């Protein structure tokens, strides 16, 4: 009985050790920041130790490296209400990897100016990771940007389900916009303007009942 209890305790401790992982954040002699799961070398500076749970996402714990990446390299996805398939693929790629992101819809002068300022163009989708930019959608390019920003690799974080934002207030789809009204034709120079009760622009005539 005692042996069974000891074996059970060992199994529980092993499971707890597997769920909790030690993470080290340190700076090398060249000022570069490293995040590792192994102790840093003796020459490391500014060593910080953190623990996070690598178990199911229901625990609500945010992995330390994800929190650090979000702080140093926030992710913004620029889309447009008229951008369908490419923007949906870009959004789905971020959701699959479990990366939190902000989505900005480009549809009027202010948002167009913001996109042009950060990317140098008005193309959507555009992904901004920190200050790094990728225009258009390409899975390998997205993964490379997120890897360089030290976001957890695909399959580590639970998938997200962030949906496309609602249409901006005041936005009118192109197919529903009114066509400009044509102005009445003006008489040619030198041509006399028509007069009389039925001439263009004359007030309507009232009918009189006899």
Q: Could you give all domains of the chain from N- to C-terminal order, each with its CATH number? A: 17-58 (no CATH), 62-165 (3.40.30.10)
Task: Specify the pLDDT at position 186.
Answer: 66
Highest mean predicted confidence (pLDDT) among 24-33, 126-135, 187-196: 126-135
Calculate what percentage of the chain has a pLDDT beyond 90.
47
Task: Specify the pLDDT at position 192.
Answer: 63
Q: Beta strand 102-105 with 75-79: parallel, antiparallel or unpaired?
A: parallel
* Three-state SS annotation for the chain: CHHHHHHHHHHHHHHHHHHEEEEEEEECCCCCEEEECCCCCCCCEEEEEEEEECCCHHHCCCCHHHHHHHHHCCEEEEECCCCCHHHHHHHHHHHHHCCCCEEEECCCHHHHHHHHHHHCCCCCCEEEECCEEEECCCHHHHHHHHHHCCCCCCCCCCCCCCCCCCCCCCCCCHHHCCCCCCCCCCCCCCCCCCCCCCCCCCCCCCCCCC
Residue with tokens 């041509």: 191
Query: 175: pLDDT confidence band, cut at 50, 70 and 90?
Result: confident
Distance CA 127, CA 135 (A): 6
Task: Specify the pLDDT at position 97.
Answer: 96
* Higher pLDDT among residues 4 and 93, named by residue: 93
**Considering the entire predicted model, what is its pTM?**
0.59
Q: Hey, how many other C-beta atoms are within 10 angstroms of the C-beta on 167?
A: 12
**Closest listed residue to residue 65, CA positions, set 45, 84, 50:** 50
Tokens of 103: 């989505």
Overall average pLDDT of the 131-160 stretch: 95
Overall average pLDDT of the 75-87 stretch: 97
User: Is the predicted pLDDT of residue 61 greater than 70, yes or no?
Assistant: no
C-beta separation of 24 from 35 below 8 A? yes
* Higher pLDDT among residues 10 and 107, named by residue: 107
Task: Specify the pLDDT at position 83.
Answer: 96
**Residue 21, Cα to own-chain centre: how many angstroms?**
29
Task: Specify the pLDDT at position 193.
Answer: 64
């Amino acid at each position: 009985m005692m042996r069974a209890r000891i074996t059970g305790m060992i199994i529980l401790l092993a499971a707890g050790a597997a769920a909790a992982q030690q993470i080290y954040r340190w700076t090398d002699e060249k000022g570069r920041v490293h995040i590792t799961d192994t102790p840093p070398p003796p020459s490391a500076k500014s060593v910080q130790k953190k623990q996070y749970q690598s178990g199911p996402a229901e625990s609500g714990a945010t992995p330390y490296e994800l929190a650090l990446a979000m702080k140093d390299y926030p992710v913004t996805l620029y889309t447009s209400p008229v951008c369908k398939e490419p923007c949906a693929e870009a959004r789905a790629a971020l959701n699959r990897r479990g990366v939190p992101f902000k989505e900005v819809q480009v549809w009027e002068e202010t948002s167009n100016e913001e996109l042009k300022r950060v990317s140098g163009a008005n193309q959507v989708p555009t992904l901004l990771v920190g200050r790094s930019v990728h225009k258009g959608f390409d899975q390998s390019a997205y993964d490379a940007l997120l890897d360089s920003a030290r976001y957890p690799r695909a399959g580590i974080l639970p998938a997200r389900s962030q949906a496309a934002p609602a249409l901006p207030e005041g936005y009118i789809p192109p197919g529903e916009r009114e066509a400009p009204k044509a102005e009445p034709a003006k008489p040619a120079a030198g041509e006399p303007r028509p007069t009389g009760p039925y001439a263009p622009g004359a007030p309507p005539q009232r009918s009189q009942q006899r």
